[in-house]
Every structure is written in C-alpha cells, then in structure tokens.
Amino acid sequence: MNQHRPFSNMLPRIVELVARAAAGLKYDVREYVASESIAAILTSLIDELTKTIVEEDEGVIRCGLCGRGPFTRKGLYLHLKRVHARQIEELVLSELEHRVWVMKNKLNS
Ligand SMILES: [Zn+2]
C-alpha cells in the first residue's frame, strides 16, 4: 500500500490496546502514546470499538466479530489477536480517519 495513512505506524500498538480493552484486561493508553490529545482520541475510540468487538451477556463473553465463544477474558484477548488483528486494524483506521476528518471540518467551519 503506497497511500499514506495517518497512525499506520501506531497500528500494532493500537490493536494490542483494543484487544486488551475488549477482553476487559488492564491497559493504559499513556504507555503506548506520548501525546495527550491522541491518548484522548484513542480512549474514546477504544470505548466505541469495544462495543462492536465483544458481546457480553450475563458474564458470558463472545467474539462480536465472528460470534465464537464463550471465551474467558484471556481467551478472547488471544482470539482477537490471532484471528482478527487485520480486521481490528481496519476498524481502527476507518474510525480514526473519520474522527480526524470531523475535527478538521469543525476547525474549518
Ligand atoms: Zn472472532
């Protein structure tokens, strides 16, 4: 891919964060990004994506992307990283690009 995409160098770290958040494991955005404004964007992005990526019903955890499960928290984390890393990258990118676009348009209006 020769098209420049913002954040693409951060993607592996962001996928790690999303997988941790979705599985309900501990994570700290500030360990991964230095910029406070990007950390804030990431935090809200992760909250949003988590809703799509995990289905939790009365303590039973399933993958929201393929419906497999039930998983333990650790099991879901590993499943997301093994099976859905690319898919999560795409979700993160399109959501980030959307948010950056919205911000730019707010600034210009
Ligand atoms: Zn899955």
- Cis peptide bond N-terminal to 70, omega within 30: yes
Distance from residue 103's CA to the centre of ligand 1 (Å): 32
Distance from residue 47's CA to the centre of ligand 1 (Å): 18
Distance from residue 104's CA to the centre of ligand 1 (Å): 34
Q: What is the percent of the chain with per-residue pLDDT over 70, rounded to a whole number?
A: 92
Distance from residue 93's CA to the centre of ligand 1 (Å): 19
- Cα 104 to Cα 77: distance, rounded to the nearest angstrom: 34
Write the pLDDT tens digit of every residue in 1-31. Answer: 445 565 677 888 889 999 999 999 998 888 8
This prediction's pTM: 0.82
